[in-house]
Amino acid sequence: EDQVTQSPEALRLQEGESSSLNCSYTVSGLRGLFWYRQDPGKGPEFLFTLYSAGEEKEKERLKATLTKKESFLHITAPKPEDSATYLCAVRAVSLPGGGNKLTFGTGTQLKVEL
């Protein structure tokens, strides 16, 4: 069954403690994998788009990578302001809507403490 799965569900880090979030997908005809950040009470904020295996994107302390089966969001030396829920979404031909809509994982809730 086609799906998008994120792990872990929740992650608690100390400030400066680097880690990675995972988004695994089982689809065919990938048309893009997207990472979003969502703060409480707000809409998802777009971070990155990845289209093909081997692609990488970076922004400040965040780096997103993509393989044929999964994507990682690496967080280097996180700060408390990086605390948020990180969402992964996929467009794929094999998913309902044929790539016309984004299918989301359930997210990873990240808490960075001092």
Partner 1 sequence: GAGVSQSPSNKVTEKGKDVELRCDPISGHTALYWYRQSLGQGLEFLIYFQGNSAPDKSGLPSDRFSAERTGGSVSTLTIQRTQQEDSAVYLCASSPNTGWGEAFFGQGTRLTVV
Q: Which is nearer to partner 1, 12 or 101 (CB)?
A: 101
Peptide bond into 80 cis (omega under 30): no
Q: Which is nearer to partner 1, 18 or 106 (CB)?
A: 106
Q: Which is nearer to partner 1, 50 or 112 (CB)?
A: 50
Rounded to a whole number of angstroms, the minimum distance from the CB of residue 62 to partner 1 is 15
Stretch 4-63 residues interacting with partner 1 (CB under 8 A): 31-32, 34, 36, 41-46, 49
Q: Which of 8, 16, 80, 96 binds partner 1 (CB under 8 A)?
A: 96
| Residue among 29, 2, 19 nearest 83 (CA) | 19
CA distance 66 to 80: 26
Q: Which is nearer to partner 1, 71 or 78 (CB)?
A: 71
Q: Which of 65, 71, 103, 108 binds partner 1 (CB under 8 A)?
A: 103
CA distance 52 to 60: 22
CA distance 112 to 16: 9
Q: Does 105 bind partner 1 (CB under 8 A)?
A: yes
Q: Residues 12, 61: contact at Cβ < 8 Å?
A: no
| Residue among 31, 33, 44 nearest 5 (CA) | 33
Binding site for partner 1 (CB under 8 A): 31-32, 34, 36, 41-46, 49, 87, 89, 91, 96-107
